[in-house]
Structure 1
Amino acid sequence: MARNYASVAFTKEVKALQERYGSRKVYAHVEQKTSGTGLTDSEKHFIQDRDSFYIASTGENGFPYVQHRGGKKGFLRTIDSVTLGFADLHGNKQYISVGNTTTNPKVSLILMDYAHQARLKIYAEVETVDIDSHPDLANLVIPEGYESIAERIILLHIIAFDWNCPKYITPRYTIEEINEMLMPLQEHIKELESEVARLKEDQ
Structure 2
Amino acid sequence: MADRFMHTVLTPAVLEAERHYYGRTYPTFDTEPESDAFTEAEVDFIQSRDSFYMATITENGWPYLQHRGGTKGFLRVTGPNELMFADHGGNRQMISVGSLAVNDRVNLFLMDYPSRSRLKILGHAKALDAREHPDLVEKIKPPGGHASKVERIFVIKVLSYDWNCPKFITPRYTADEVAKTVAPLKARIAELEVQLKQRTSS
TM-score (norm 1): 0.88
Q: Give the % identical residues.
A: 42
Partner of 1:136: 135
Partner of 1:81: 80
Secondary structure in 2 matching 1:92:
coil
Partner of 1:173: 173
Rounded to whole Å, the distance in 2 between the matches of 1:110 and 1:13 is 23
Task: Give the CA deviation at 1:35.
Answer: 7.0
Q: Does 1:102 align with 2:105?
A: no
Rounded to whole Å, the distance in 2 between the matches of 1:31 and 1:97 is 34
Q: Is the 8 A contact 1:59 1:100 kept in 2?
A: yes
The aligned runs of 1:18-167 (5 Å cut-off) are: 18-22=18-22, 24-25=24-25, 27-28=26-27, 37-143=36-142, 144-146=144-146, 149-167=149-167
Rounded to whole Å, the distance in 1 between the matches of 2:161 and 2:30 is 13
Over the aligned positions, Cα root-mean-square deviation in angstroms equals 2.3
Q: Is the 8 A contact 1:52 1:68 kept in 2?
A: yes
Task: Give the CA deviation at 1:198.
Answer: 3.0
Rounded to whole Å, the distance in 2 between the matches of 1:36 and 1:153 is 23
Rounded to whole Å, the distance in 2 between the matches of 1:4 and 1:98 is 26
Q: 1:23 to 1:67 in 2, by over 3 A?
A: farther
Q: Is the 8 A contact 2:87 2:151 kept in 1?
A: yes
Could you tell me which amino acid in structure 2 is paired with residue 185 of structure 1? L
Could you tell me which amino acid in structure 1 is paired with residue 128 of structure 2? V
Cα displacement string for residues 130-163 of structure 1 (whole angstroms, at most 9, x for unaligned residues): 3244333211212254385311100111001011
TM-score (norm 2): 0.89
Q: Give aligned pairs, total.
A: 199
Q: Is the 8 A contact 2:36 2:159 kept in 1?
A: no
Secondary structure in 2 matching 1:160:
strand
Q: Is the 8 A contact 1:6 1:31 kept in 2?
A: no
Rounded to whole Å, the distance in 1 between the matches of 2:198 and 2:34 is 63
Unmatched tracts of structure 2, length 5 or more: none
Q: Is the 8 A contact 2:4 2:36 kept in 1?
A: no
Cα displacement string for residues 92-119 of structure 1 (whole angstroms, at most 9, x for unaligned residues): 1110011011010001110111121111
Q: Does 1:190 align with 2:178?
A: no
Could you tell me which amino acid in structure 2 is paired with residue 141 of structure 1? I
Unmatched tracts of structure 1, length 5 or more: none
Rounded to whole Å, the distance in 1 between the matches of 2:61 and 2:172 is 33
Q: Is the 8 A contact 1:115 1:173 kept in 2?
A: yes
Secondary structure in 1 matching 2:97:
helix
Task: Give the CA deviation at 1:30.
Answer: 9.3
